[in-house]
Structure 1
Amino acid sequence: GLCVNDIIVSGAKPLFFLDYFSCSSLDLDEATDVVRGIAEGCKQANCSLIGGETAEMPGLYQPGDYDLAGFSVGIADRDKIIDGSSVRVGNKIIGLASSGLHSNGFSLVRKIIFEDQGLTVDDEVAELGCTVGEELIKPTKIYVRSVLGVLNSYPINSLVHNTGGGFIDNIPRVLPKGCRAVIDKESWEKPPIFAFLQEKGQVPEAEMYRTFNMGIGMMAVVDEADAESAMRHFKAMGEEPFLIGEVLAAREGESQVVINGLEEN
């Protein structure tokens, strides 16, 4: 999910994916489940799974442990690459709902849930409506079909894959000098896992928005005139879009990301 979502922020189309699976001793059932999941992700991203590598290294991995990595390659017309240079003051920011944590912030998640709270993957958590394990392994949402579908009909000035660094660190990458993004944090519904982590880990709200996606996995910056139509198109493609902010002028030295109502401590 992370690989192909990173590719589409440039307006590129994912072509293929390769995986790397390493372990102490190969468990065929376990490896089959992993590859089946990878194949499903490739179907959702309309890209091919063309190969990979499987390695057994008993001197490095403990029995039952495995390591999984992968990479993807995409293609785009040079003159159609999205680089944020078209962003202008007055543009609107559309946020697409995430499926949960996606794949970021897990060092902090593990500390809060397993070390501080003493929970196990099998423990039911009322606030989450599921077990810890079920929440943590929710697949990262893949936005390929919806983003490329909207791009076919409307210009998108920039795209933000909201991963490590959250809103605070990711949005500035696609903003030209002299622009800032103002986000309304009350404009979308947040999955309960984030309130759970903030409360149990006593994490400052500002740090939550710098570490997690907070319920928004992808952002699209569009012209104001296209915002409502693009949102309807995203919804028709199966996404849950929210109008979460806008681009305003930034003075010298002013922060490029402002989240209204954010508690710093």
Structure 2
Amino acid sequence: MHPGEFPITTELVSALLRAQFPQWARRPLTRVDSTGTVNALFRLGDDLVVRLPRVDWSLGDIETEATWLPRLAPRLPVAITEQLAAGVPGEGFPWPWAVYRWLPGTVPVEGALVDPLGLAADLAEFVRAMRAVDLPGAPAAYRGGGHSRLDEAARPALAGLDGILDADTLSAAEKAWDADLAVPDYAGPPVWLHADLMPGNLLVDQRGRLRGVIDFGTLGVGDPSCDLIVAWNLLTAEGRDAFRAALDVDEETWRRGRGRSLAMALVALVYYHRTNPAFADNARYVIDEVLWSSTKTS
């Protein structure tokens, strides 16, 4: 998916385990089919998972999670990523990697939610709990700054989508982005954020209710609109309304969140439309939902 991506095989992961964590080396090892874009996952037995970065620009995630997740876990309403061991470069693999506890559940799929309103309530509870965290010394969240910073990537993405999106959709997307970009950047106190609430980072149970949140490499503090992106990348219109009401989101924050969702989707679609079909499909879903939402409120 990326220039400079390291090729990761089951044989490589087995060698790393034998060399660094021999107590787990005899466990069954199976690659996890994932839409994730920066890590490769391998299930290790029934209760563990090995996560290895594909690219060098995600290397800080392991250290970030090791530092903050043990402190966040008691403060959150659902299970989150738990790092059990940190590996080091070896066996030809150049970067740090880690072993985590496997969390049960399935990844929700946009447009196919079992309980949209229940999931919306669960997500609002999680976001509310994140915002209530008061741990000192927090890092700045990835993408946690002003939403206007996304214009630098969104503008060329709009140009790059010519031929991928039809002309009417592309024109409407540009107008929607311009409208939400016009909202002033956040100037209030920063709040704790997951900062990447994409469907692939969520786990639901058989009832469709939230049971876990994973991949906290982007965590930190910043604009509260960052964690509103899930309203457009996963929820239905009805669920979105319930999510907003549960969090009591004001209009400017809501529009910053909508704009973030759209900008991220535009960039994702132009980048992944050939290499990650599921991720690209989600980007198309976001664009459709944002355009419908923008029309409804214009």
Larger relative helix fraction: 2
The normalised TM-score by structure 2 is 0.30
- Quick check: which one's strand share is greater? 1
Q: Which structure is higher in RCO with an 8 Å CA cutoff and minimum separation 6?
A: 1
